[in-house]
A and B are shown apart, each in its own frame.
Chain A
Amino acid sequence: MQLALFIIFGILAVLGALNLLFQRHPINSALSLVVVMMSLAVLYWSLGAEFLAAAQVIVYSGAVMVLFVFVIMLLNAGPEERTHGSRAAYSAGIPGAAAIFCLLSFVFLKERGVFGLTTIGGDLSNAADNIAEISQMLFTKLLLPFEVTSVLILVAILGAVVLARKEQ
């Protein structure tokens, strides 16, 4: 059951990502990205990471992507012109992407013992509540990275305010 969900939404995520690249109109691309985010949320869920799935939906699909769509609507961006990029992009980009893909899958497959394994839906069947564990981890072991990220986002907000401020 959960394996079927995993396969269906895995394929949906890949298709959404491809659609994001091939669509001409920015709003269609943004909506494809929403599909990718939602499929990822289902994948997290099928791996037992419930809280992560909900956070993915609320933060990415519900807030970040709504802002994307909002800005596209506000600027009324039309369909983009298709250009034939530079030759370097074709000659270096495709092999480069393939190389990164191969490298990542090699590392993940080779070092899977170190990363640890999870079973599909394994943690869902006994209905463990993993929010407490996540917050324990986040506020004790990973406190410094967590706080640094928050400060980083704050800096970004301040930068946006400075840029958006009208000249006196």
Chain B
Amino acid sequence: MSHLTDFEVFLLISVLKVAVVLVITLTCVAYTVLLERKVIGRMQNRWGPSRVGPFGLLQPLTDGIKLFLKEDLMPLAVERPLFVLAPMIALGCALISVSMVPFGAVTRYRGVDLFQVADVNIALLVILGITSIGVYGIALSGWSSNNKYSLLGSLRASAQVISYELALGLSLVGVVLRTGSLNLRTIVDVQSTHGLISWNFFGGFQFVAFFIYLMAAYAETNRAPFDLPEAETELVAGYHTEYSSMKFAMFFMAEYANMITVGCVATLLFFGGASSPFGHTFHFLDTPVFNAAFSIFWFVAKVFAFLFLYIWVRSTLPRFRYDQLMSFGWKFLLPLAILNIVVTSLALALRH
């Protein structure tokens, strides 16, 4: 590739990165669904999918084929353009935010970082912004379906997401205060000096922030125990009642892609991202190839742990009531997040 100019190399690698990250994210989405069904199955003392392929590993493939081949119904009374647009917004926003995530140690080829699609100064704010745009997908799907259950589901979802967005944003302020930057690479670098003890969760005393983030994130992604927007005992299926075939699949994929993004952000902000928990203890492994491989291994392992936690929580906790949800967000999480900011900034100010 030596005859290419730097710009051509940049362009080629960027396109390649986007393609690879997209394919990997979508595969992860498919297999997270399988993981969820398997793990919940085991927790409820049954097998989960086990018929297709060894251990049911080809189940996502057959699910995909099924969703593709289903008839794409469109009710007559829907608001047509918005009805089609809504799942695209949901899935698009869910996938775009993955592009900010640095999923490995800095590995450059001719000046282009291989393990991050876009290195932006305000990456954290970009992720928050894109997540907040994703609400439109849910809000519009419910409204354009022209169905009472869908509308109720999407109203619940919008109210819930707006309320918990505050606690989510405020819980991240402590980490940003410690780092002094919104760049995800910098946030990870600050935590990668001494391994486990320099992570924000342990060394930075941000565990309160982490638990606020975790609970707000469950509500943001509409997952159990905060899955009121699609509470099937009350609202049929919530905002995607009227959707079928690939349009339904897009909502489904968006939900799981959001789960993965939330896991990535939690890993980056509180658990040192792609850095090893042992720091630089093993000097003899300090070669570029090992560094690149192990950084990705640690990142994937941490994100996997979060996905497992998500599933564990879903199979353990019952659903909240709506007023409980609101008062929990506004009267408990929000004041706690503000308190965390005050304490963190006081500690930082006293140490300087």
Contact = CB atoms under 8 A, between A and B. Distances in A.
A51 B182 CA distance: 10
A73 B155 CA distance: 8
Interface of B: 82, 120-122, 125-126, 128-133, 135-136, 139-140, 142-143, 151, 154-155, 158-159, 162, 165, 169, 180-183
B158 A70 contact: yes
B19 to A, nearest CB: 21
Contact of B125 (A58, A66, A74, A127): A58
B139 A73 contact: yes
Contacts of A17: none
A36 to B, nearest CB: 14
A122 interface: no
B121 A63 contact: no
Contact of B132 (A50, A53, A58, A74): A58
B135 A66 contact: yes
Contacts of B159: 70
Interface SS of chain B: helix, strand, loop or mixed?
helix
B133 A63 contact: no
A63 B165 CA distance: 9
Closest 4 CB pairs of A and B: A62-B132, A54-B125, A57-B129, A73-B143
24 contacts: A31-B140, A38-B133, A50-B120, A50-B121, A50-B122, A53-B122, A54-B128, A54-B129, A55-B125, A57-B132, A58-B125, A58-B169, A61-B132, A62-B132, A62-B135, A62-B165, A63-B165, A66-B162, A69-B143, A70-B139, A70-B158, A73-B143, A129-B121, A132-B180
Contacts of A67: 162
A31 to B, nearest CB: 8
Contacts of A73: 139, 142-143, 151, 154-155, 158
A132 B181 CA distance: 9
Interface in A30-51: 31, 34, 38, 50-51
B158 A58 contact: no
Size category, A interface: 20 to 34
A43 B251 CA distance: 30
Contacts of A55: 125
Contacts, number: 75
Contacts of A50: 120-122
A131 B182 contact: yes
A61 B132 CA distance: 8
B157 to A, nearest CB: 10
A27 interface: yes
Interface of A: 27, 31, 34, 38, 50-51, 53-55, 57-58, 61-63, 66-67, 69-70, 73-74, 127, 129, 131-132
B136 A51 contact: no
Contacts of B129: 54, 57-58, 61-62
B148 to A, nearest CB: 10
A129 B179 CA distance: 13
A66 B122 contact: no
A89 B325 CA distance: 48
A66 B136 contact: yes
B132 A51 contact: no
B155 A57 contact: no
Contacts of B142: 73
A53 B183 CA distance: 15
A62 B346 CA distance: 30
A161 B268 CA distance: 39
Contacts of B181: 129
Nearest to B126: A54
B128 A58 contact: yes
B95 to A, nearest CB: 17
A58 B168 CA distance: 13
Contacts of A131: 121-122, 182
